[in-house]
């Protein structure tokens, strides 16, 4: 296939998803300039491997590359940021953020309604561990299905659902602390 035809096909598939790619990268890196760099690198990688794309959901394929590029970039530029661990058994965080989060029972949706201030929600999202932040962004902001998130994050659907539940719980706790 000619390079020009490949470039046109890639552009037609990838351009509609540029906003979603940037959104995911911005939330994972927590920095708009770093997100620009990551998305640019991800698009270069995607173009390089576009001949291997066999159709299907281009958005999920592209966001998988963006996600993987983010993690690679963060390992090279922000050692330790992707290392926050949590206990799968009880959902508790292990690390410095764990001590900062009080335990309260409240519905995450009502907390979000009460916390209508976008900056406050953004600040709370930025404090989530990356494993939770990515799942929450893909589901709530990008409105992706559990199946697509599982493909992007290379996780079983059950893990996606449990991480989403834990992400919502942690977001609620962070927002409560900010009150």
**Boundary (domain end) residue, out of 27, 48, 77:** 77
- The per-residue pLDDT for range 116-141, each reduced to its tens digit, is 567 788 888 889 999 999 999 999 88
Question: Which CATH number belongs to the domain containing residue 121 in this structure?
Answer: 1.10.10.10
Distance CA 131, CA 83 (A): 10
**Boundary (domain end) residue, out of 77, 99, 117:** 77
- The per-residue pLDDT for range 26-52, each reduced to its tens digit, is 999 989 999 999 999 999 999 998 988
**16 with 57: CB under 8 angstroms?**
no
**Boundary (domain end) residue, out of 52, 77, 102:** 77
- What is the domain extent for residue 65? 3-77
Is the pTM higher than 0.85? The answer reads no
């Amino acid at each position: 296939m000619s390079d020009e035809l490949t470039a046109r096909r890639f552009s037609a598939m990838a351009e509609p998803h540029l906003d979603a790619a940037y959104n995911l990268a911005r939330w994972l890196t927590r920095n708009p300039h770093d997100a620009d760099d990551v998305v640019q690198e991800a698009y270069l990688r995607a173009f390089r491997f576009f001949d291997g794309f066999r159709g299907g959901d281009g958005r999920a394929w592209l966001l998988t590359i963006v996600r993987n590029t983010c993690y690679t970039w963060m390992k090279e530029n922000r050692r330790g940021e992707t290392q926050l661990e949590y206990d799968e058994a009880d959902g508790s965080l292990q690390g410095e953020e764990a001590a900062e989060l009080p335990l309260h029972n409240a519905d995450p949706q009502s907390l979000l309604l009460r916390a209508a201030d976008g900056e406050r929600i953004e600040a709370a999202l930025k404090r989530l561990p990356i494993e939770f932040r990515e799942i929450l962004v893909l589901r709530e902001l990008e409105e992706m299905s559990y199946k697509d998130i599982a493909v992007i994050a290379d996780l079983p659907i059950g893990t996606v659902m449990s991480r989403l539940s834990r992400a919502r719980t942690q977001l609620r706790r962070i927002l409560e602390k900010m009150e």
